[in-house]
Amino acid sequence: MTLAGALISLTGVQAAGTASDPPSIASCMTCHDDPKFVHKLGDGKKISLFIDQHAFAHSVHGGKLVCTDCHTDMVESPHDTKHFPNRLAMRLAYYEMCKRCHFPEYSRLLDGVHYAKLAKGDQNAPTCVDCHGSHAMTRPARPRALISRTCAQCHTAIAAAYVRSVHGKALLEEDNHDVPVCTDCHHPHDNSNPRAASWHLAIPQLCARCHTNKQMMAKYRISTDVLTTYLADFHGVTASIERSEKADPRAFTATCTDCHGIHDIARVNDRSSPVIKANLLATCRRCHRAAGPNFPSAWIGHYEPSLRHAPLVYAVSVFYMIFIPFVIGGLVLQILLHLWRVVVNR
């Protein structure tokens, strides 16, 4: 049996016999099985119309859909030739076909930055098929590293930085699925503008999704106190204050990425890490330009004070934990004794 015949058997669709019957995969392949089959666009560029039957048969849609389930305007065989002025027009003519089955994902897409660029006529803005493919679609995140490689098609420089980061190395070299990929931080469909003030202020909660997971962080001996200690210090307090979208959050507060980096995050003990002791002063001076050599010493890191970490700070905190209740308790006792004296002597 030929591959085309196998595809017919998979889909259960018979070859088009009458004009009213939709064409089968096999009938479509009489033209689209030719690797040299191209279509000339209005701007003079050519686009391939070749379809790999084997790839489609083993895709997520293989055995479930036939060509006309998506190409609903081509139910007759042979069909009229479509004319498009450019590649963008062709993509726009077909990408909305996906919403017939994937409407929840399509709805979220409308809130994303990609759709906003697409609506403005940006020909480089991706549509569904640019990320998922058109005929050889695989299940999302299989393999997981495919997500970052997909985003790298447009975000080349960012992808290169990610590959060198602690997250990228763990994913690509160790196949570690604990580390985040692009869509874990940016979302796959409703990805928001990372330059917005609201995005910058939400970064601590974003990083905390993994870094407050005790079971996950125990594998790597990383403290899970990062969020609570951040929110307790000056930077965290200012980040918690509601600010206007018109204000640049970098002007008044620092979040995780301002110190650790964004896509090029390194291990905290790596020589290139901006938070290693040798580089910490330079990192602080990005905002505190007049910071002296001892300025970083005022920060105890993402640790709760203890006898092991910042013992002096811990001793002072213990002292005040005892001293303050003692003073307030003594004051309350004095007031009560005074009231008792007044009542007795009345």
> How confident is the model over 272-291, as pLDDT tens digits?
899 988 899 999 999 898 99
154 occurs within a structural domain: no
Residue 346, pLDDT above cutoff 60: yes
Judged by phi (left if over 0) then psi (alpha if -120 to 50, else beta), residue 209 lies in: alpha
Same domain, 200 and 299: yes
Q: Please say which residue of 304, 319, 338 terminates a domain.
A: 304
Domain that holds residue 339: 311-346
56 occurs within a structural domain: no
Q: Residue 251: which pLDDT band, with cuts at 50, 70 and 90?
A: low
More confident residue, 181 or 306: 181
Same domain, 235 and 257: yes
Q: Residue 87: which pLDDT band, with cuts at 50, 70 and 90?
A: confident
Same domain, 208 and 276: yes
| Amino acid present at 248 | D
74 occurs within a structural domain: no
**Chain segment 308-322, per-residue pLDDT in tens:** 878 888 899 899 999
Query: For residue 192, what pLDDT is reported?
Result: 86
Same domain, 300 and 333: no
What is the mean pLDDT of the segment spanning 259-279? 91
**Chain segment 165-212, per-residue pLDDT in tens:** 999 999 999 999 999 999 999 998 998 888 888 888 889 999 999 999
Q: Cβ distance 109 to 189 under 8 Å?
A: yes
Q: Cβ distance 13 to 24 under 8 Å?
A: yes
Same domain, 234 and 290: yes
Query: For residue 8, what pLDDT is reported?
Result: 33
For 253-279, give the DSSP string: ---HHHHH-SSS---TTSTT-TTSHHH
Same domain, 226 and 260: yes
223 occurs within a structural domain: yes
316 occurs within a structural domain: yes
Query: For residue 213, what pLDDT is reported?
Result: 94
319 occurs within a structural domain: yes
Same domain, 315 and 235: no
Same domain, 246 and 322: no
122 occurs within a structural domain: no
Same domain, 263 and 282: yes
Between CA 59 and CA 63 the distance in angstroms is 9
Q: Count of domains in the chain?
A: 2
